[in-house]
Amino acid sequence: MARAPRIAIVGGGIGGLAAALALERRGAEVIVAEQSPALSEIGAGLNLTPNAVKALRVLGVEDTVNAIASGSEFLNIRSWKSGRYISRMRRGDFKQKFGAPNLSVHRADLLEVLAGALRTTQIRLGLRAVAVEPGERRAVARFADGTTIEADIVVGADGIHSVVRTSLFGADVPRFTGCICWRGMAEASALPHDIDVRDGALWMGPHGHVVHYPVRRGELLNIVAHCDSDAWTEESWTQRCDVSEVMATYTGWNPALTRLYPCSTRWYKWALYDRDPLMRWSRGRATLLGDCAHAMLPYLGQGAAMALEDAYVLAAMVTRHADDLSAALTAYEQIRAPRARAAVMGSRERARENHLASPWARLVRDVKFALRQRFGGSGKNHDNTAFQVGWLYEYDVGKEAG
């Protein structure tokens, strides 16, 4: 009987823990090395589109995620100033159309679900990776305290500033998108009673847009505001700022939106970057997964979804090619890279359309959204969704990878 493969995963975020779960359930010996002293996630919300929920299904945690998630009947696309409804994209029928619902969760809650499902995985905290050495038969991960982990495969799941990616392919230059984001999280009990926030909302204006949606069974409202600006270029998700900065930026926007801002007791800001998609993800017995392979803008809501899909496909290929793990990494990359690249480029295009400055261009865009909602086809791709993303949502990673 063949020995169970030993897999080391650098990074204990959503992608890393999903990969650990997928691999251990297929019998692998898994070690997760996380640089933080505890498994934790930033206090932010996360949109899980139907393809992400289907990935959670085949990972065996869909029901647990459902219990801590929020769902909404509509995504309401609204005008920044008047508040008029441009389109009401019905999410309530996504389960019927795409095989799974659209959910929203708190990132920390999803991380807790994934960690709680692990049974045999070793999680080693406080290990900051400094290099990975990919060999033809084994790979070695090296850490700042002198610790080394040797494994049949080392997986980089260490995010947009990936040490593993740099070790394998050299340093690259991130692409600043010219956009700044602010995020807040408000208690539902603190929200104005005359503003309906049960559904997700997307407010679209010149040089910016704002989204908000419920998380944690509706107990919290996640708010993310985007604005074209190069006045601040720090990538950190943990930089605090004052609500007055957000209020000043969105002066003139509809009060049904701006009255929500003071309800969050903490605001954070960061600058948006992405990376050009890599042509290769693997070198020797080391590979990449999630943001370190395909960091993308958030405008199609696919960052976590792509990482969850990556995790399942990687484990499936390791099982399918158990006698040749190099072939497993090649197959993994061949399945995942084209889809991830399309998501990266699609997110860039969505960013452009979200922030149109010209009133005429915005009107044309808004009419398209309304027409897609009302007259869109009901065929295979279901691209009557406002953003024509049926090709993303209909994907079922379990059927793709087996």
pLDDT digits (tens, 9 = 90+) for 84-130: 999 888 898 899 999 999 999 999 999 999 999 999 999 999 999 99
Count CB atoms within 10 A of the CB of residue 222. 26
1 is a domain residue: no
Q: What is the pLDDT of residues 354-370, one digit of tens each?
A: 888 888 888 888 888 87
**Residue 397 belongs to a domain:** yes
Q: Which residue has the higher pLDDT, 378 or 225?
A: 225
pLDDT band for position 401 (cuts 50, 70, 90): confident
Which of 272, 304, 325 terminates a domain? The answer is 272
Per the CB < 8 A criterion, the answer to whether 269 and 245 are in contact is yes
Is 160 within the bounds of a domain? yes
Each residue of 142-153: pLDDT tens digit? 999 999 999 999
What is the tens place of the pLDDT at every residue in 327-357? 999 999 999 999 999 999 999 888 888 888 8
- Shared domain for 72 and 166, answered yes or no, is yes
78 contacts 201 by C-beta, under 8 angstroms? yes
Distance spanning both ends of the chain, measured CA to CA: 22
Same domain, 51 and 150: yes
* Range with the poorest average pLDDT among 20-29, 172-181, 264-273: 172-181
Average pLDDT over residues 247-273: 95
Q: Residues 314-336, buried b or exposed e (16+ Cβ, 10 A)?
A: bbbbbbbbbeebeebbbbbbebb
Are 193 and 104 part of one and the same domain? Answer: no
Indicate if 36 and 165 belong to the same structural domain: yes
Q: Which domain holds residue 129?
A: 6-173+276-401
Output the pLDDT for position 386. Answer: 67
Catalytic residue among 213, 268, 299, 393: 213
213 is catalytic: yes
Q: What is the pLDDT of residue 245?
A: 94
- Verify that 184 and 267 share a domain, yes or no: yes
pLDDT of res. 45: 92
Report the pLDDT value the prediction gives residue 1, as an integer from 0 to 100: 41
